[in-house]
Structure 1
Amino acid sequence: MKKLASGFYNRADVVKIAKELIGKILVTQFGEGITSGRIVETEAYAGAIDRASHAFNNRRTNRTEVMYKPGGVAYVYLIYGIHQLFNVVTNIKDVPHAILIRALDPIYGINTMLERTGKHRADYTLTKGPGNVSKALGITTSHTGVDLLGDEIYIAEDDFAVAKKDIIATPRIGVDYAGEDAKLPYRFILKDNPYVSGKKTQNTPKA
């Protein structure tokens, strides 16, 4: 595996980056425990112009301030007081783009993932959905701001190649509040992968 460099994250097109993350490997290494999985579902959030983004209209709060850092750091936030969601910050300083990692196909450290999630067997729910991704890989809000070029949390690539026809673009999930922006095809999934979240109707490309 080769760790992704800063140049991957510091580009302007967050939608393109979200698509290119499909097939890459998310790795966490906390102490002796290493866990990893192949990214099979992402969602792009285009910052100030995107009504679905936490940084819409350049909103800046204690929580969102990390989104304004140069690309290549983690943004982890809590939703419903339960789920901790891992995002990749992209673009340059003061342009708050981010990509939510929604699902992984587990590769390494599955026993550790089971311990963290309290599951007894490795079924598809282990890393299906963004809350499960963070829980299985041990990612919490304390990791907001972590440098993805370091060794604790990083994204890497190997010789796994994804055919363009196998990456499907759909609207994002759970952003109905965003009006017309909720319809944007900013979610990417790996076709027919069983770890992808969402209903069957949400995983079908629009005609």
Structure 2
Amino acid sequence: MSADTPWSALSEVYGFVGNSLLKPMTQTLSVGLDYAFWGSFPDFGDEAIRACIDACGRYAEAAATRPRDEAVQQVAVEYTRLFVGPPSPAAPPWETMHRGEGVTVGFGQATFEMRELLREAGLELRNENRQYEDHMGIELLYLSECCRRFAAGEAADEAALDSFIERHPLSWIASLRGRVIEAFPDGYFTGLLALAQSVLEFQAARLSR
């Protein structure tokens, strides 16, 4: 990537999406329901990303017609149905369960790989829900920290970053999105994951130049 790569903005985007996938909106900020938030969201000059941002903005605009607490609760219910259950998550958020057909156990090779990457980066996983390390939210937060380090001049291995994006979040986010669309085609997370995928694709394309 060029010297003008917006590392800080990429870090913030991945951080926002990653955190949004790890806790329901009732336990996090609800800025995703603010139309103005999406109006200032970075599109990196990419048309696909801009289209996803616009879709998220339209969701927020529609949500604004309801009481805020009601809109937040609706997203929280969607979150629970998709990523928690019961009886089981409609869209399992762990990479292991998207690596092959019929996988029903959320702990596998991808978990070990992410655990090792976190260890090598000096990052310690602390989460109340004891999520496996290959949770999409954790993978995006790891990527957020990598981009932060590039922005601060603390990292320079772009090939390793490209490999991580291609091998981990980008390799299965389409599968996760498909499950989300099946359950909530017009929901909040359908738009959010479309945005995340478009940003991952944008960055991977620039890194591989």
Q: TM-score w.r.t. structure 1 length?
A: 0.27
Structure with larger Rg: 2
Q: TM-score w.r.t. structure 2 length?
A: 0.27
Q: Which has the higher strand share?
A: 1
